[in-house]
C-alpha cells in the first residue's frame, strides 16, 4: 500500500502570461538540469463558463486503442511480483524447434525466440493482451526511497521532458509504446528537434540505477486546436515518439491507462521532480517524489479558488479542468507541469489529470488544478491513430 505522505511536492508553472498560475517552469540534472524561468503579467479570469459545459463522460472498459488482443504476453518484472502467472516459456527451445528431417523445399515459418530478461528481472507471462496501468516493486539493487520519495520504478508511465541539452522542461505520461500525453504549454513553442523524452527515470543526478533510463526523440507534436495559452484551457498535447519503446523488457517502463470510470472523492497520486515549496526557498528534486491528494468536486474547487487572488468572479472551466488537493503541505508545485494525476482501482492505475496550474503550493483550502483528461479522450485517441 502506498504510504500517506505529508510533504509538499511541487508544481506551479510559469508561463509568460500567467504568473503563479501554471505549474510548470523548470530547472535540474542526470544528469539533467533544472533552469528556473520567470513570468509576469496579470492572472486572466474568464468572463463566463464555456457553453456547453462538459462533464466527464467516460467510456466503459480500459481505454487503449493500440493494444492488440493476443492469447498471452510476457514481460520482465521483479521476482515474486508476477500476478496470476502462466507457465514460463522454455529458454532451451523445447516445443519451439522443428526437427530437421524434412526436405520439401519449403521455407519454414520463423519461430518466436525464447523470452528472457536482463537487470535481474524474472519472466512473467500473462493471459490476454498487455495490461496498461501496472506498477511493480523495485527491482534488485534499487536504493530505498526516502521520506516523500517514490520508489524506484513505482511510476513506470512517468516520463521526463528534456531539452537536447539535458535541461528539464516538464513531465508527461506514456499512454502507448509510441505516445506521450502532456500539457500543451510545455511543448507548444518548442522546435521538434530541441527536446526529447526520457522513460524509466528516477534519480536525475545518477546514471548508476539498476535499470537505466532511455532517451527517445519526438517525431510529431499534436497540440489541441483550442488550446488557449492565456487561461490554459484545452491544455493538452500528444507526443509521438520517433521509435516505440519496449513495454516488456523492463519493469520501470510501462503505460498508464486512459480513464474509463469516474474517481471523484478518491485519493490519487501525483509524482515528479518539481520544487518542494513555492517561491525562492523551494528546490527542485533530483529523486522523483510523490504525494497523495483527494479529488475535489469542481463546484467546491471553484468556491475555494474564489477565496484567493482570483476573486469572486472566477469561473472554473469544468470541461478543461478538475481539482485535487487543498490539504496543507500536500500538493504539486513549480516544475511539475504535465505530471500525471493517477488513480487506482482493482490494482490498475489510470491517468485522470495532468498538473496544470495552482495558486501557490500546499496551502490549506486551496486545491491544485489539473487538465481534465476524460474530456479529451476522443481527441487523444484520434491523435494516437494519426
**Residues of the chain with pLDDT > 90: what percent?**
49
Write down the mean pLDDT value for the chain: 77
pLDDT tier, 162 (very low <50, low <70, confident <90, very high otherwise): very high
pLDDT tens-digit series, residues 52-97: 222 233 333 344 444 444 568 899 999 989 987 876 555 455 444 4
Q: Which residues of 76-86 are buried (b: 16+ CB within 10 A; e: fewer)?
A: bbbeebbeeee
At 313, is the pLDDT very low, low, confident or very high (cuts 50, 70, 90)?
Answer: very high
State how far the Cα of 321 lies from the Cα of 356, in Å rounded to an integer: 8
Residues 123-133: tens digit of each pLDDT: 999 888 899 99
What the block records as the C-alpha cell of 242 is 520517433
What fold is seen in the domain 158-255?
A: Thrombin, subunit H (2.40.10)
**Contact 319/372 with Cβ under 8 angstroms?**
yes
Rounded to whole angstroms, the Cα distance separating 9 from 285 reads 9
Weakest mean pLDDT among 142-151, 175-184, 346-355, 374-383: 142-151
Instruction: Read off the pLDDT of residues 180-221 as tens digits, 9 standing for 90 and up.
Output: 999 999 999 999 999 999 999 988 887 778 999 999 999 999
- pLDDT bucket at 362, cuts 50 / 70 / 90: confident
Contact 23, 226 (CB under 8 A): no
CA distance 22 to 236: 13
Please state whether beta strands 158-163 and 179-182 pair in parallel, antiparallel, or not at all (unpaired). Answer: unpaired
> Where does the pLDDT of residue 224 fall: very low under 50, low under 70, confident under 90, or very high at 90 and above?
very high
Indicate the pTM of the whole model. 0.77
Dist. CA 68–CA 381, nearest whole Å: 15
Rounded CA-CA distance 280/244 in Å is 39
Cβ(322)–Cβ(370) below 8 Å:
yes
Q: What is the pLDDT of residue 320?
A: 97
Phi, psi at 327, each rounded to 5°: -100, 140
Q: Do domains 158-255 and 266-373 have the same CATH topology?
A: yes
Looking at residue 331, its pLDDT comes to 59
**Exposure pattern of 290-309 as b/e (b: 16+ CB <10 Å)?**
bbbbbbbebeebbebbeebe
Closest C-alpha among 177, 229, 165 to residue 16 = 229
Q: Does domain 266-373 have CATH number 2.40.10.10?
A: yes
- pLDDT value of residue 93: 52
Spatial contact of 125 and 73, defined as CB atoms under 8 Å apart: yes
Kindly report, residue by residue over 229-284, the tens digit of the pLDDT.
999 999 999 999 999 999 999 999 999 999 988 888 899 999 988 654 434 444 45
The pLDDT value recorded for residue 97 is: 45
Predicted pLDDT of residue 285: 67
All structural domains of the chain with their residue ranges:
71-86+115-128, 158-255, 266-373
Nearest to 149 by CA among 237, 269, 40: 269
Amino acid at each position: 500500500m502506498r504510504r500517506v505522505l505529508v510533504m509538499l511536492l511541487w508544481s506551479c508553472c510559469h508561463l509568460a502570461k500567467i504568473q503563479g498560475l501554471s505549474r510548470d517552469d523548470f530547472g535540474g540534472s542526470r544528469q539533467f538540469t533544472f533552469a528556473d524561468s520567470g513570468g509576469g503579467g496579470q492572472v486572466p479570469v474568464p468572463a463566463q463558463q464555456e457553453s456547453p459545459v462538459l462533464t466527464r463522460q467516460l467510456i466503459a472498459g480500459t481505454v487503449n486503442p493500440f493494444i492488440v488482443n493476443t492469447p498471452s504476453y510476457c514481460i520482465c518484472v521483479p521476482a515474486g511480483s508476477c500476478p496470476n502467472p502462466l507457465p514460463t516459456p522454455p529458454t532451451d527451445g523445447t516445443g519451439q524447434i522443428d526437427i530437421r528431417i524434412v526436405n520439401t523445399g519449403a521455407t519454414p515459418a520463423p519461430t518466436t525466440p525464447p523470452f528472457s530478461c536482463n537487470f535481474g528481472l524474472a519472466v512473467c507471462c500473462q493471459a490476454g493482451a498487455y495490461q496498461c496501468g501496472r506498477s511493480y516493486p523495485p527491482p534488485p539493487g534499487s536504493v530505498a526511497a526516502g521520506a516523500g520519495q517514490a520508489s524506484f520504478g513505482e511510476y513506470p508511465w512517468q516520463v521526463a521532458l528534456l531539452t537536447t541539452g539535458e535541461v528539464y522542461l516538464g513531465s508527461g505520461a506514456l499512454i502507448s509504446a509510441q505516445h506521450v500525453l502532456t500539457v500543451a504549454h510545455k511543448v507548444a513553442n518548442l522546435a521538434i528537434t530541441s527536446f526529447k523524452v526520457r522513460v524509466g527515470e528516477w534519480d536525475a543526478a545518477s546514471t548508476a540505477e539498476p535499470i537505466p533510463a532511455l532517451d527517445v526523440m519526438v517525431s510529431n507534436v499534436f497540440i489541441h486546436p483550442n488550446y488557449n495559452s492565456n487561461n490554459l484551457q484545452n491544455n493538452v498535447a500528444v507526443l509521438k515518439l520517433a521509435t516505440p519503446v519496449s513495454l516488456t523488457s523492463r519493469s520501470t517502463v510501462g503505460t498508464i491507462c486512459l480513464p474509463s470510470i469516474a474517481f471523484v472523492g478518491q485519493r490519487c497520486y501525483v509524482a515528479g521532480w518539481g520544487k518542494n515549496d513555492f517561491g525562492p526557498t523551494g528546490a527542485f528534486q533530483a529523486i522523483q517524489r510523490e504525494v497523495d491528494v483527494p479529488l475535489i468536486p469542481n463546484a467546491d474547487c471553484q468556491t475555494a479558488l474564489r477565496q484567493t487572488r482570483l476573486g469572486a468572479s472566477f469561473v472554473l472551466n469544468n470541461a478543461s479542468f478538475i481539482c485535487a488537493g487543498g490539504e496543507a503541505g500536500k500538493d504539486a508545485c513549480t516544475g511539475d507541469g504535465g505530471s500525471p494525476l493517477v488513480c487506482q482501482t482493482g490494482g490498475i492505475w489510470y491517468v485522470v489529470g495532468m498538473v496544470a496550474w495552482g495558486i501557490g503550493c500546499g496551502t490549506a483550502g486551496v486545491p491544485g488544478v489539473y487538465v481534465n483528461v476524460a474530456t479529451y479522450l476522443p481527441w487523444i485517441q484520434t491523435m494516437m491513430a494519426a
